[in-house]
Structure 1
Amino acid sequence: MKLKHAVALCAAMTLACASAAAVAKDVPEKAELHIAAASTGITYLPMLVAKQRGYFKDEGLDVTIAAFSGGSKTLEALLGGSSDMVAGAYSNTITMATKGQHLVVVAAQVICPGWIFGVSQKHGSDVKSPKDLKGLRIGVSAPGSSTHMAVNYILHKAGLQPSDVSIIGVGQAAGAVAAVRAGQIDALIVNDPSATILTKDGSLRPLENMRTADGNVKVFGSDYPESSVFATREFIDKNPKTVQAVANAIVRAEKWIAGATPQQVADNVPPQFLGDNKALYAEAFTNSRRCIAQNGEITAQGARTVHEVLAAFDPAVASAKIDLATTYDNRFVRKAAEVQP
């Protein structure tokens, strides 16, 4: 009996030690994590849902999300050291590569950008297409942001130069809505829920709809991945368990969103990012739903599309030798997908 008891005790201790080792192995190197967000619109939902539903916390992370007015501001925060990671546009990894900065996407939040590009009521009758935008004031999230790049590409296709318009940074949330309604800008590129708010009341008439498959093909030639989570290569190499924990939470959120109703989604957004009208938010989610990624991966085709768009109007991108395979790393989300329910 004593021998059996000793064997059982030893087995139990071995199992406990193995379990403890497994837990320890998964502990993030950096538990307190700061993410700079270029937007808190619906194309950033996986991050917001992961925060609200406690998925980051389940991974041993205490995540603080700092909302900025656009991608250029988040890059300043990342490279300045006040943020660890960025929730921003995949295109930033390409443009920053031309400046010698190695940024890498570890989780895609969307397969398409979910933007509406439209004109204000004042110009609803005289602007029929992007070629009529010359001389007008165009609102983007921030100068140098992904929305600015998209506008430059739309202008390029219309035969216009960036200097043919005035670019004004207005954010993607309440500031953008107010700027259109106050007549401070003549056109705007914006994601949901602001896009639905402005088109629903007639404040903005769409010229391009980058929420639909056909709309993305019309503008970019195919779906254009935008919102993602990225960090410097140095941070990823130093903190692989932390990055894996982030990927686990993002992919888990994407899988939850894929099976949720619009109302359930609206109920699971942090209140400070929701707005005053939950029903309108649910409607906006429905409008942009197809853009939300379900497995967190950047595809090779998506990466090529973004590069081709940027190279069309940016000589620095066109002339640079960039290995696109180094601008994203799908290993983390693929591993995350293996363990998700």
Structure 2
Amino acid sequence: MKRLYTPAIVLTMSLAFTACVDANAQSAPEQPKLHLAAAGVGFPYLPFLIASSRGYFKQQGLDVEIGVYSGGAKALQALLGGSADIVAGAYSNTITMAAKGQQLVSFVTQAVCPGFVFGVTKASHDKIRTYADLKGKRIGVSSPGSSFHMGVNYLLSRAGLKPEDVSIIGVGSSSGAIAAARSGQVDALMTNDPVATVLQDSGDMFPLAEMRNEKETQATLGGNYPEASIYATRDFVEKNPKTVQAIANAMVAAEKWMAAATPQQVAEAVPPQYAVADKAVFVQAYTNMHQCLSHDGLMAADAPKTVRSVLAAFDADVAKANIDLATTYDNSYVLRADKH
């Protein structure tokens, strides 16, 4: 009897092994080694840092090299120039580039609101009380052309000012921004956490606008405004669907972990080389803005329209362009993430 069943058992095991190998082959990323261009390491970008530090990318068969740039414009240039495969940057870039005929696709949302804080520096606090007072002033952003810069342009438009009515200075999004604010290099600053918390607590910045949760964002920008996302060219997405799915799987795993973790646990999970504040400041800053972080990677249906409206307020190319917003994002990958 034993001899009769042994071949059947062996055959069954062989078929099971073959099926397993076939399944792994079918889901293996087409491009396992990737270069990710990050617009910064501020809190809206925490999900990709957590996906890396906790090994979620590796679990999906990905080897992700992270390059941190001085702002979203630089990260975008890396993508368009071919030195990066994907970007952790502002979703708004997909719309501004669509107006120029370049198709980019966001496939994971990292932050459902900007987490922006726009404030006046200590030296200029008595001179600037409203957006209209910004005329002729120096305003710090991570880099010219970044999402921080776009946010500034929108706030200027609310006061009837034009982008050219102020001087924009690139100060980075971490220690450089703190130094610029404290040294008097800028009169006002658009930034996010933990930089915003550091400067507010030290009395070096006084907020005019805060967008650390959806309610504040809706009041300032007129609706839901997703900030950070993971995006790539449409060509990359179409040629590498398994790679994109693997990225989405890792990112959603990171976001779900963060949603259940304490601020202290998140602080401990951030690699030291990307920490721009000590643990105590990190925990406070994370508490201030964690509501902006996505729990599932999804893009809300009404959010792209808000982003376009904000951009159109100061960008003539976006205002006149006929953009199909449905082509600027794809929720299908994060919707499938739980099934992988």
- Is the pair's TM-score, using the shorter chain for normalization, greater than 0.5? yes
How far apart are the structure 2 equivalents of 1:56 and 1:87?
Answer: 14
| Pairs aligned (count) | 339
Task: Give the corresponding residue for 2:92.
Answer: 91
How far apart are the structure 2 equivalents of 1:109 and 1:288?
Answer: 13
What SS does the aligned partner of 2:29 have? coil
Task: Give the corresponding residue for 1:140.
Answer: 141
> Normalising by structure 1, what TM-score?
0.98
How far apart are the structure 1 equivalents of 2:9 and 2:126?
Answer: 82
For the Cα contact (< 8 Å) 1:87–1:229, is it kept in 2? Answer: yes
1:179 aligns with 2:180: yes
How far apart are the structure 2 equivalents of 1:113 and 1:93?
Answer: 16
Task: Give the corresponding residue for 1:129.
Answer: 130
How far apart are the structure 1 equivalents of 2:283 and 2:62?
Answer: 28
How far apart are the structure 1 equivalents of 2:276 and 2:43?
Answer: 12
Task: Give the corresponding residue for 1:210.
Answer: 211
What SS does the aligned partner of 2:106 have? strand
What SS does the aligned partner of 2:302 have? helix
How far apart are the structure 1 equivalents of 2:127 and 2:213?
Answer: 25
How far apart are the structure 2 equivalents of 1:282 and 1:178?
Answer: 21
Q: Which amino acid aligns with 1:287?
A: N
What SS does the aligned partner of 2:294 have? coil
Show CA shifts across 1:5-44 (max 9, x none): 1111111111111111111112111111100000111110
Task: Give the corresponding residue for 1:266.
Answer: 267
How far apart are the structure 2 equivalents of 1:276 and 1:106?
Answer: 29
1:52 aligns with 2:58: no
Task: Give the corresponding residue for 2:302.
Answer: 301
Task: Give the corresponding residue for 2:236.
Answer: 235
Task: Give the corresponding residue for 1:34.
Answer: 35
For the Cα contact (< 8 Å) 2:174–2:276, is it kept in 1? Answer: no
Show CA shifts across 1:141-170 (max 9, x none): 111111111110000011111111100111
For the Cα contact (< 8 Å) 1:295–1:337, is it kept in 2? Answer: no
What SS does the aligned partner of 1:333 have? helix
Unaligned runs of 5+ in 2: none
For the Cα contact (< 8 Å) 1:180–1:204, is it kept in 2? Answer: yes
Task: Give the corresponding residue for 1:111.
Answer: 112
What SS does the aligned partner of 1:43 have? helix
Deviation at 1:276, TM superposition (A): 4.9
What SS does the aligned partner of 1:185 have? coil
Task: Give the corresponding residue for 1:246.
Answer: 247
For the Cα contact (< 8 Å) 1:32–1:61, is it kept in 2? Answer: yes
Instruction: Write the mapping of 1:147-166 to structure 2, written as runs, cut at 5 A.
Output: 147-166=148-167
Deviation at 1:338, TM superposition (A): 3.5
Deviation at 1:190, TM superposition (A): 0.4
Unaligned runs of 5+ in 1: none
How far apart are the structure 1 equivalents of 2:243 and 2:147?
Answer: 26
Deviation at 1:337, TM superposition (A): 3.0
For the Cα contact (< 8 Å) 1:52–1:268, is it kept in 2? Answer: yes
> Normalising by structure 2, what TM-score?
0.98
Task: Give the corresponding residue for 1:287.
Answer: 288
Q: Which amino acid aligns with 1:279?
A: A
Show CA shifts across 1:267-290 (max 9, x none): 000111113511111111111100
Show CA shifts across 1:160-193 (max 9, x none): 1111110011111111000001110010000111
Question: Identity of paired residues, percent?
Answer: 54
Show CA shifts across 1:229-262 (max 9, x none): 0000111111111111110010000000000000
How far apart are the structure 2 equivalents of 1:24 and 1:55?
Answer: 19
What SS does the aligned partner of 1:116 have? strand
Task: Give the corresponding residue for 2:24.
Answer: 23
What SS does the aligned partner of 1:338 have? coil
Runs ≥4 residues deviating over 3 A: none
1:222 aligns with 2:220: no
What SS does the aligned partner of 1:209 have? strand
Q: Which amino acid aligns with 2:206?
A: R
CA 1:46/1:13 → structure 2, altered by over 3 Å: closer, same or farther? Answer: same
CA 1:275/1:72 → structure 2, altered by over 3 Å: closer, same or farther? Answer: closer
